[in-house]
Amino acid sequence: MSKKVLVLSLALIFAVSGVLAGCGAKSEKDNKLVIGATASPHAEILREVQNDLKDKGIELDIKEFSDYAQLNPALVDKSLDANFFQHQPYLDNYNTENKTDLVAAAQVHYEPLGVYPGKTKALDALADGATIAVPNDTTNEARALLLLESIGLIKVNSNAGLNATVKDITENPKNIKIKELAAEQLARALADVDLAVINGNYALQAGYNAAKDALAKEEAESVAAQTYANIIAVRKGDENKEEIKALVEALKSEKVKKFIEEKYSGSVVPLF
């Protein structure tokens, strides 16, 4: 074999090897699904299906976030393939404010928002001028105010709906002071306020159970259970990807339903 032919042959071998290596890398990447989630219950639920997806050739890489406000931006910039932490009104509000088009691939569960005791241990002991802490993000603040309305503490302008803020309180007979805090700070603030309305996931992380520890909560049969269902969110179009479909199928299994019911005892409610 001439030197020229040998050089050409080696070049061809390296070129083919590069193509095959590239194909292999693409295949490996395509079978990896990176999903962001808050720790409890979302990441815990996702870990229940990791092996099920592995059996289907899909590596589920779970990234935990302590600040849920970072999860949608990470999905938009493609650091994540999906996220699991939010309900539809929160996603709708994010899309509107940021001109994005993230979509829900599936509803999974519902976490009742609860009113938890701080310095005041019972609703009928709530004094005039008491302080109640609520989440400060748009949809969860409205949800908290509507829960306080449902137990007779305040009245909210009916036209405000899921955009209600403290400015929409129309009646406040006990002169309650509403303290707006980041959702992840609410459980830690209990010692400094009379009551706090806490998101289900952050209550769980702090060791509270809405079914046992809350003085009042959104009921599972309420409209809120559907309105605030926690979803798997993806970029528009990705809901049809096989990996996403496989994730949804695994999450909506009897195995996961049993896990949720036994582990969370009513503070997380499966919606399938």
Q: Cβ(132)–Cβ(195) under 8 Å?
A: yes
In the chain, pLDDT over 70 holds for what percent of residues? 87
Q: At residue 93, what is the residue type?
A: N
Same domain membership, residue 213 and residue 125: yes
- Tokens representing 19 are 């193509």
For residue 177, being part of any structural domain is answered with yes
pLDDT, position 17 = 45
Q: Is the pLDDT of residue 16 over 90?
A: no
Same domain membership, residue 95 and residue 123: no
For residue 178, being part of any structural domain is answered with yes
User: Going by C-beta distance under 8 Å and a sequence separation of 6 or more, which residues neighbour residue 65?
Assistant: 36, 37, 38, 71, 74, 85
Same domain membership, residue 71 and residue 45: yes
In the chain, pLDDT over 90 holds for what percent of residues? 75
Which single residue is written with the structure tokens 């209550």?
203
Same domain membership, residue 232 and residue 107: yes
**CA 224 – CA 246 distance, rounded (Å):** 28
Same domain membership, residue 212 and residue 128: yes
Number of domains comprising the chain: 2
Same domain membership, residue 93 and residue 53: yes
Q: What residue numbers bound the domain in which 208 lies?
A: 114-218
Task: Point out the domain boundary residue: 218, 236, 261.
Answer: 218
**CA 126 – CA 195 distance, rounded (Å):** 9
pLDDT, position 170 = 98
For residue 238, being part of any structural domain is answered with yes
For residue 2, being part of any structural domain is answered with no
**Using the 8-state DSSP alphabet, how is residue 271 labeled?**
-
**CA 128 – CA 132 distance, rounded (Å):** 12
Same domain membership, residue 59 and residue 89: yes
For residue 161, being part of any structural domain is answered with yes
**CA 143 – CA 126 distance, rounded (Å):** 21
User: Going by C-beta distance under 8 Å and a sequence separation of 6 or more, which residues neighbour residue 177?
Assistant: 129, 130, 131, 132
The band of 124, judged by pLDDT with boundaries at 50, 70 and 90, is: very high
Which helix (H) or strand (E) covers residue 148, if one does? helix 138-150
For residue 3, being part of any structural domain is answered with no
Same domain membership, residue 58 and residue 182: no
Same domain membership, residue 131 and residue 204: yes
pLDDT, position 5 = 46
pLDDT, position 176 = 98
**CA 133 – CA 148 distance, rounded (Å):** 11
Q: Is the pLDDT of residue 23 over 90?
A: no
- 3-state class (DSSP) for residue 216: strand
The tens digit of pLDDT for each residue in 165-210 reads 999 999 999 999 999 999 999 999 999 999 999 998 899 989 999 9
Same domain membership, residue 166 and residue 83: no
CATH, residue 213:
3.40.190.10
For residue 61, being part of any structural domain is answered with yes
Same domain membership, residue 187 and residue 166: yes
Q: Cβ(69)–Cβ(75) under 8 Å?
A: no
Average pLDDT (30-54) is 95
For residue 97, being part of any structural domain is answered with yes
**CA 252 – CA 260 distance, rounded (Å):** 11
Same domain membership, residue 100 and residue 231: yes
The tens digit of pLDDT for each residue in 227-238 reads 889 999 999 999
- Tokens representing 181 are 């805090």
| 129 dihedral zone (left: phi>0; alpha: psi -120 to 50; beta) | left
